[in-house]
A and B are shown apart, each in its own frame.
Chain A
Amino acid sequence: MSLTHRERLLRVFEFKSVDRIPNYEFGYWRETIDRWHREGLPEELKTDAEVEQYLGLEGLESVEKVPVIIGVWPRPPEVVLKSEDDREIVADGLGGIYVRKKYTSTIPHYIRYPIRNREDWERIKPFFDPKTYGRVPLNWSDIVEKYRDRDYPLIIFVGSLYGWLRDLMGVERISIAFYREPDWVKEMMDTIVNLVTTILRRVLKDIKPDIAWFWEDMAYSKGPLLSPKLFEEFMVPRYKKIMSILNEHGVNIAVVDCDGDIEQLVPGWLEAGVNCMFPLEARYVDPYKLREKFGKKVLLIGGVDKRALIAGEKAIDKELERLTPLLEEGGYIPTVDHRVPPEVSYQTYLYYLKRKREWLEKHHP
């Protein structure tokens, strides 16, 4: 059986037989790439995509994405207000001020969030206007032509209902708003839904992507940041609006990128049609449990415990063995369960990739 990259991906998610599973990885922390440069990775390779391609991986960063902008647009310029030893104080251009580390990868720490009240929101709302120029490239017809007879998969990013607002407001402010100002939260989410659905209507007339990709990051080690009750009330109906357009146009694989313990959110996502969970952090999520509970309705990407790569070769072998039945069942593409951390040496990662390549070819539906 000889399949194209696109056929291979789609067949895996249809639980059909394949010649092998696509070889994807999540990515790397900046410190990891720095370390690997000292251990043999060519110095000129800086980005996730460059590293992926050099190592013979097919994604995830390298998978083609529809070049439309669903998100804050235009992106206002950031300004460094103050530079200290190892950190910078940055004005984000949306009214927020945050601290970032100069030499290490970590999330920005907001000193002042862009949205503190409704007035702030009214100022930011126009950045979610779907009609702003530049969201869809002017050479759209060329892009449509490019994708017409493709043999590779195509992803469309479809935004975030909670994650974006949490980033703009902070987890405390948004949590209180769900209780104190529910109409405002709904209005903000509706604005996002309007942006996503308007762009989707425009794109899906001409192009059929294979995968829709949400980003949420709305869970942590103890479970969801937002209670399932609020999730179901505020978010599930809005996902449904987005998913109905995607499904209408034959896009039936919808990934949600959410770290942490997601188990209690999965029923709501599945109900809305968001059916593929990523990256399945092994410390918090058991993919077998999800499959047992939700059957073939749930698709899976990720799940390889990063701690096994830290522990070394024997642990890697054991970890791949743990995931073999899932791989053989189908509906699952393995990747490390988050960015590869800097505790993993380049040699160990090469060992993982070598073993993984053999594993993907030997065990598949």
Chain B
Amino acid sequence: MSSDVLNSIKEALVGLDLDKTIDFVRMAVELGFKPMDIINALADGMRVVGERYEKNEYFLSELIMAAEIFKEAMNVLEPLILKEGRALYIGKAVVGTVEGDLHDIGKNLFVMFLKSMGFEVIDLGVDVPPKKFVEAVKQYKPDVVGMSALLTTTVLNMKKVIDALNNEGLRNSIKVIVGGAAVTKEYVNEIGADAGGIDAYEGALICRKWVEEKRKADLR
């Protein structure tokens, strides 16, 4: 029975059925499952959704719907996690579209995947100047900074952010990932980012790997 409910949560999320997912989440809570086990079932569902997206079986519309379901489920679970006194997040990310660029589909997608993988995301929005990235890094002390740009003209501003982080002595404490249609692998190397030129899902997986490695290193 136990694994049945958790499996049903995962299946309902993969099937993009919001009502069923929430019903199963509530049922799991009533049956006494720990919130983290339920979150893991949801995250497992999101992983399958991500894989289907990679295989062209799911598309942006399905990713957005899955993220909405995840968000609704988390609304049920968050009070319980806080009550347990446990950490809600595996890591923290500051994300924004760089100055001059108002495109946000790619950035929003990345935010969605980060959240579904357990990140606390500080979304700075669009048209974000380097100064604002720097201030956010000082204020929130994230593990990751993510920048997005669609236009060939605005992608150049990613370097300005990295330079500003270097000048403030903040660069070494964080990982930087860049994305968007205008970003190539060559450009990632050129500006000294840690990763980029990949899609949003793959990018979020890399961020998760980074924080897991960091936690392991901290424990040593």
Contact = CB atoms under 8 A, between A and B. Distances in A.
Residues of B in contact with A, size category: 20 to 34
Contacts of A220: 60, 105-106, 181
Contacts of A106: 100-103, 151
Contact of B65 (A109, A176, A310): A176
B68 A176 contact: yes
A171 interface: yes
A81 B106 CA distance: 28
Contact of A101 (B65, B104, B127): B127
Contacts of A87: 127
Interface in B57-100: 58-62, 64-65, 68, 100
Nearest to A109: B102
B16 A226 contact: no
Contacts of B151: 106
Nearest to B54: A222
Contacts of A178: 61, 65
A216 interface: no
Residues of A in contact with B, size category: 20 to 34
Interface in A44-94: 87
Contact of B64 (A108, A171, A283, A342): A171
Nearest to A341: B152
Given A222-B199, A341-B152, A227 B101 contact: no
B102 A171 contact: no
A219 to B, nearest CB: 9
A179 B18 CA distance: 9
15 contacts: A99-B102, A104-B100, A106-B101, A106-B102, A107-B102, A107-B103, A108-B102, A109-B127, A176-B68, A220-B106, A223-B59, A225-B59, A226-B60, A228-B59, A264-B56
Interface of A: 31, 87, 99-101, 104, 106-109, 171-172, 175-176, 178-180, 220-228, 230, 264, 283, 310, 341-343
